[in-house]
Amino acid sequence: MIIIGILLNIAGLGLLCWAMFRLAVYALPFFVGMTAGLYALQTGAGPLGAIIVGIVLGAFALVVGQHAFAVARSTMLRLLMGLLFICPAVVAGYHLTLGLAQFGIDSAGWREAFALVGAVAVGGTAWTRIAMLAAPQSIGGVPAGSPQPPLESATASG
């Protein structure tokens, strides 16, 4: 029974870490949607209206952020757009790793060290995912496809 419990704990921890890395890019749209939903609730929109406002504005923030990141030609502008997505993910990764480290690590220094490593890992994952979501753009008339034509098989007759 203990072995099954340990294996299920490891699987649950792995699932939680997988979800954090998978959802790291969506920390900013979630924050925008939650803030807008709470504001709508406080202004009298009701629970259903607040949920709808939160979902719509969160999705809008995600789409606009990805589009702005994809079409930005300036490296500095692209870096700033990426940081808008990365900073909330880093904070969420730090707090998640710190919370998980408190389960098994007694030393406060080691907990902070693991939390910082987790924050950097989640931030790097968020940067990679936002960069993958942005489609490559053609610059100066150069197509975004492969620079090499596909290889064709050579035959003896041609």
Confidence of residue 127 (pLDDT cuts 50, 70, 90): confident
Q: Is 36 helix (H, G, I), strand (E, B) or coil?
A: helix
DSSP per residue, 109-152? HHHHHHHHHHHHHHHHHHHHHHHHHSPPPPBTTB-SS-SSPPP-
pLDDT at 25: 80
Q: pLDDT digit string (tens) for 67-122?
A: 888 887 787 888 888 888 889 989 988 998 898 888 888 899 999 999 999 999 98
Residue 58 pLDDT exceeds 90:
yes
Rounded to whole angstroms, the Cα distance separating 79 from 51 reads 31
Residue 116, CA distances (Å) to 16, 21, 52, 111, 113 in order: 18, 15, 35, 9, 5
Confidence of residue 132 (pLDDT cuts 50, 70, 90): confident
Q: pLDDT digit string (tens) for 137-156?
A: 555 555 555 556 656 665 65
Rounded to whole angstroms, the Cα distance separating 107 from 132 reads 37
